[in-house]
Structure 1
Amino acid sequence: MTKKELQSFLDKVNFLRRFVSNLAGKIWPLTPLLKLKDTERFVWGAEHQAALMPPKRGKPFRLYISASEGSIGYLLAQNNESEREQAVHYLSRTLNVVELNYSPIEKLCLTLYFAATKLRHYMLPSVVQIISKTDLIKYMLTRPIIRGRIGKWTMALSEFTFQYVAQKSVKGQALADFLAHHPAQGQEEELEVEIGMARMEKNYWTMYFDGSSTEARFGAGVVIQSPQGQRWQFAFQLDFKCTNNQAEYEALIIGHEILKEMKATRVLVYGDSQLVINQLTGEYQCTSENLIMYYVTALNTSDEFSRISFEHVPRAKNREANEMAQVASGVNIPDSDHDRVIRIKRRTLPALAERGMTTQVSSFEITDEVNTAETDWRYPVVKYLHDPSGSHERTTRFPARCYLIYHNELYRKGLDGLLLLCPSAEDIKVIMTESHEGICGTHQSGVKMR
């Protein structure tokens, strides 16, 4: 970029300054370049390019699409370094006379095709998450016969890697709806795109990875899902000392090797290690001497795929890979063995039920038939037993584990295995009154009173 081009660009940006928050702070790195004299050299550096915040290559995009009665619109967005959604490109156009007769679902398919023709250079290298009111991918790929305009659009979109996401983001969808109701005129013609090999199925693999590092052993877990929905779980025990970040990289590289053996070409990788994911997407720099070789190896194995994207997910969404890593780091494998087969079988009935015996109701088999008021001392315990994962006080969580509900009554589990009935405050008064009146006979010891 030259100084003249920069001046022209900033003139256009300043026209919209009242619509952009803190515009002066955002373009502050660029202003010193405007003060350069003609004899001084104009140098466009990395700090100037960072002020424009270009999209990150390899990071998933989000495409919001919307169609109204007479127009269509889309918004392409991507999460920035602070994981906040940032708009990349938005556009809309009016529908011609023929397109006005399309059904609502066909108008949405037209919007997706329109966005692909305009944003091919953005969308082709990365996974694109389609966010709309209808699952367009399922609609287009489950047609019994591919023909007509839907068949044409399906063939043209087969080179992209799409993933449908249910509409949840009100902010992004509101912008797309606004653009659809305020379209740009003079863009009614359709553009033709080159059609490549068409595959009428979900055309990318999914991989989850996680590493585990303990004082005794180290493990790596990988979960792979094929485009057809088949899943494989892998657990590897690392027979050498490594840090947790090194174990994460080990799991990632092992997953790449498995995917290559499965002939995968397009991959979407999920991991809960923010350090590893951000290093691979270029948001973080790898400066650790212990990780630099892992980082280079991971990049080299990633280049073996035609298309690969990395995305950070919370640990709760990476639970299956985490369990595989925990199993690998927790199982003791003798030195003479290279692997160990762990068989996991499913049993649908308890062992007692198979022998014709009734099972004792556990503390998790809770019914709503236990009537307790908020003033009752049993209320916090019953509330915890009904929803153990909810928000409870610490003074309630630990004691409540000694209680269970059986036949709609609250019991406390004794040390000798007996169940002690937990009456309400009113029932306690009745019991104490009857005991002192001698209805139960003479006073007995605590064990006999049970």
Structure 2
Amino acid sequence: MREINKKLNPKKCTFGIKKGTFLGCKVNTEEIIVCPDKVGVVLNLPSPRCLKDVQKLNGKLASLNRFLSKSAKKSLSFFKTLKKYTKKSDFQWTAKVEAAFKEMIKLIAELPTLTAPMEKEKLIVYVEAAREAVSAVLMMEKEAKQMLVYFVSCALYGSETNYTLMEKPRTSVKGQILADFIVERPEGDSLNTPMEAEEELSNPWTLFTDGSSCIDSSGAGLILTNPKGAEFTYALRFRFDATNNDAKYEALIVGLIIAEQMGVKYLQANVDSRLVANQEKSVNEAEVFAVVEEKEDTWMDPLYNYLTKETLPAEKEKARVV
């Protein structure tokens, strides 16, 4: 610290302790326990009487998610209530939602103790996929017993519910659990990439995708370019209702499928949404999309010009659409 001329505030730093409170949890060298104050606030909550009460409840449950098994699945009734009634006068707290609320209170009263994993310890992941939610738990073995490390749960919306049970867990587990505990490259490991592979990776195929939706239709465009500069252009018309993000998902998925069918081994994907770029999903091609290869001018030409040359149409209305 002295070498880089940095100082610490003694009032905000504590050294040499084995236990303490951190980010709303009581932490020691072996265990992580939720603070009783946070649990007490939820246990003393009355049944919600308005939308604002439901919003407060969802916020408090979110802070306890890591201790709750299948939290998204058990909270679906609250989220649906919040989504369905957008006006105060429309709010209804049904008997079914009340039963789910009481069940959630019972679970919070008996929250488990989590274990802090040590470096290089083997971790076990259990995943469960339902129609509207994906849940997972990270565990470790200690003295022939399986100890809880972390719970994670993700609700599925829109087109996400159409994926098979085998496909649904793929993105949820990777992004939310393992990133918290597993280092990208373990200490001592090294990547020995042959020179031939490095040369091939330097000249990958390139994929540009973009998608959009409107009231009555949705579609996307993609451009696949080989290392020699030859371009393969496709226009997609979707046979289902999709948001802009859904269209971007499907455009990337179709591009990957086409690249695989063409025997492409190394591909650099360029999308205009980081949400899409950090996800991986597969799709049933026959059910949800149709691919039409266009040889003449198409609606996706402005997208192509924007993605490759960063140019917009001269007309303001068309430029706004792009």
Q: Normalising TM by the smaller chain, what interval?
A: 0.3 to 0.5
For normalisation by structure 1, the TM-score amounts to: 0.25
